[in-house]
Amino acid sequence: VLEDEALPKAKQILKLISVHGGALEDFLRQARSLFPDPSDLVLVLRELLRRKDLEEIVRKKLESLLKHVEEQTDPKTLKAGINCALKARLFGKTLSLKPGLLRASYRQFIQSESHEVEIYSDWIASYGYQRRLVVLDFIEGSLLTDIDANDASCSRLEFGQLLRRLTQLKMLRSADLLFVSTLLSYSFTKAFNAEESSWLLLMLSLLQQPHEVDSLLADIIGLNALLLSHKEHASFLQIFYQVCKAIPSSLFYEEYWQEELLMALRSMTDIAYKHEMAEQRRTIEKLS
């Protein structure tokens, strides 16, 4: 149970129900005010029903309340919330985050139809780019726990699809780390922009809109590009071409987009190289 002060709140539910009279809807409303998340409420009600010292009338009320909550809640949401709760608490402590937020992310993941790049970007927006790697670890751990649970949230077919999506997300994480670390290993790239988050955003943007590579690069490099010599410009584009080539094509919204991106970068590199050659000729002419 992820709700704070779960034990005193559970005792409060038992106390309310032990008072004879009152409609089921009233009990339900009060119970939900104490445990807003249905997964928490179901776990608490199930635990209360395990008590052997319950009066029969109290037991029946609890059973009716539990049945009502289970019937009103989407089964996938309910089961996923229960199965990932322990992971959410553990990772919440690691990340200094409310575990309920992590639980919500797992529920969204198993029901999302968005592209993996969008899912990854949403995690960055929600948790910050510094936590993106650990959030994916949480999602992976929760999914594997859910698969092994006695009452899993999804069918085998659905889990198969989710495991494929998880593989794509892990591939995206690896590509992200390689892309950013390679670029920031060059001093002149750091001189353009030393922020890891900026280069990460650039890569994610290229996967979604590679045709905007000119403007996307301009946003990252900005006016610093004007200070480059043509040789430095060509060198940067050659490095940038290689890191883009290293991204698996399956991560792009459309696989053929990678080749279009590389074609655009080859064209930009050719232009920069021609400018570099012209610059060298002018330098030689001045010396002679």
What burial class does residue 15 get, using C-beta atoms within 10 Å of its C-beta: 0-12 exposed, 13-18 middle, 19+ buried? exposed
Q: How many whole angstroms separate alpha carbon 151 and alpha carbon 124?
A: 30
Q: pLDDT tens digits for 155-175?
A: 999 999 999 999 999 999 999
Q: What is the CATH number of domain 80-166?
A: 1.10.150.630
Residue whose tokens read 């584009």: 237
> Tokens standing for 100?
């309920």
Alpha-carbon distance of 225 to 233, in angstroms, equals: 8
Instruction: Say how far apart CA 133 and CA 173 lie, in whole Å.
Output: 7
So what's the pLDDT on residue 9?
A: 93
How far apart CA 270 and CA 226 sit, in angstroms, is 18
Tokens of 200: 């990460």
The ranges of the chain with pLDDT < 50 are: none
CA distances from 259 to 26, 115, 160, 190, 254 (A): 62, 20, 30, 27, 10
pLDDT of residue 158: 98
**Residue 51 CB coordination number (10 Å):** 11
For 285, what's the count of Cα atoms within 13 Å in the CB-facing half-sphere? 6
Q: Read out DSSP for 119-151? A: HHHHHHHHH-GGGHHHHHHHHHHHHHHHHHSTT
CA distance 179 to 247: 8
Determine the pLDDT at residue 137.
98
DSSP structural state of residue 229: -
pLDDT value of residue 193: 87
The first and second tokens of residue 59, run together, are 């037991």
Alpha carbon 146 to its chain centroid, in Å, reads: 18
pLDDT at 189: 86
Q: Are 29 and 41 in contact (CB under 8 A)?
A: no
Return d(Cα 105, Cα 135) in angstroms, integer.
9
Instruction: Return the structure tokens found at 252.
Output: 């792009």
- The pTM for the full model equals 0.88
Give the SS3 label for residue 268.
helix
The pLDDT assigned to 231 comes to 75
- Tokens representing 139? 């999602």
pLDDT of residue 199: 96
Q: Give the domain ranges of the chain.
A: 6-73, 80-166, 184-287
Q: Which residue type sits at 82?
A: I
